[in-house]
Amino acid sequence: MDSIRIQGGMALQGKVRVQGSKNASLPILAATLLVGESSFIRNCPRIADVYSMVSLLKSLGCSVHWQETGVFVDSSQVRRAEMPREAVKGMRSSLCLLGALIGRCSEVAMEHPGGCVIGERPIDLHLSALGQMGVEFVEEEGLLKAFSDRLHGAVVKLPFPSVGATENVILAGVMADGDTVLEGAAMEPEISALCIFLEHCGGWIEGIGSSRLVIHGGRRLYGTDFTVPADRIVAGTYLFGCIGAGGSVFLEHAPEEEMQAVLEAAVQMGGRVCTSREGIYVQAPGRPASIELVTAPYPGFPTDLQSVVLAVETRGKGCSHIEERIFENRFRIVEELKKMGASIEMIGSKSVFIHGKETLRGACVEAKELRGGAALVVAGLMAEGETVVGGCPYIYRGYENISRDFRELGARVTSV
């Protein structure tokens, strides 16, 4: 199913359950390589990126079995440390297997990772950090090869709070000799989830949730039963979808404690928001209020939700301004929104002004990356007439079933 067809103009009503977190599941699945036993990962989302990670784990010798409530991973038979080229090319998150395989096998060979085309996303930070821990890298026949005779702790200072580099240092650090002090670490909730999983397995990490982590290496890890937290980006997509399309929805299990910057933006856009332990309730305004938005590393506003806010503000009152400070190619959605009648002015490559209009019109548009694709679905909900979003395999990398979820809220959406 490569396309999603939307009949717009329906306000959203009802409740929807928020799936498990993509960005937490992938490094946790990578971390099961370090255990050498069986682990059960509950609430693991059934999305394309997770299926790709499962395939990679199987190719390395893991036994992986899906159950109704999660996935079993037994890594006791892992012997090889070379990943299939075709699997790595399509998935950026395969990079977190670098630290895990160095920790487990002391070596790894992999293709340079792929994923969404949203900027250069260099891996220099990963290589530099792991190099300080005793890892040597060479490029040979198009492969990145890494090996370490003795993985050891170090003081690592990241010049930018890279999520991927932070994950790799943590995964290598728990298996290294001695302690690793990581300064300038990313503070995203998914990093905390990885650390908590490793502590459930017997690891010891100090400073969880802060920018300074102390990873005590060399402790024996064992299997565990762990529940992945809900996906804050999926929750934010549906929350802003409601603000754009109108109505009122309850987002069951939405992790409100991880979404403060998102909720603040929703209120600025005119949404009425109530939170509880069970989730988040949002009621939409007539039309969204304009907003000044700047993306930033956590706890700032997430770059992964910038596209959906941009889409919603095409129907906003007045002029909104969005500045992207994380990736340099996050505005690929602009030309697609213009096909729907949006008025958007690009200022350089990292800033846009959106002049809100009363209505959008349905059109045939194309998803060019994951989050922009989801934002186009939201734009279709807001538009008059029919919208067809192509390129939906991008969307399925991060959303279990975006069509079903919006149908549960009363939208007329089908996958075709």
How many other β-carbons are positioned within 10 Å of the β-carbon of residue 123? 19
The angle, 0 to 180 degrees and rounded to 10, between the axes of the packed helices 370-382 and 232-245 is: 20
The beta strands (E) that lie in 54-186 are given as 63-67, 70-74, 107-110, 136-140, 143-147, 155-157, 179-183
Q: Report the side by side order of strands in the sheet with 143-147.
A: 107-110, 143-147, 136-140
H or E segment and range at residue 19: none
Please name which of 13, 115, 43 lies closest in space to residue 371, comparing C-alpha atoms: 115
Q: How far apart are CA 50 and CA 26, in angstroms?
A: 6
- The active-site residue out of 62, 116, 201, 242 is 116
Please name which of 367, 360, 355 lies closest in space to residue 397, comparing C-alpha atoms: 367
105 part of the active site: no
Tokens, residue 169: 């240092």
Amino acid at 27: P
Query: Under a CB-based contact definition with an 8 Å cutoff, are residues 369 and 118 in contact?
Result: yes
Q: How far apart are CA 108 and CA 99, in angstroms?
A: 9
Using the 8-state DSSP alphabet, how is residue 65 labeled? E
Tokens, residue 277: 């332990």
Length of the chain: 416
Catalytic residues: 116
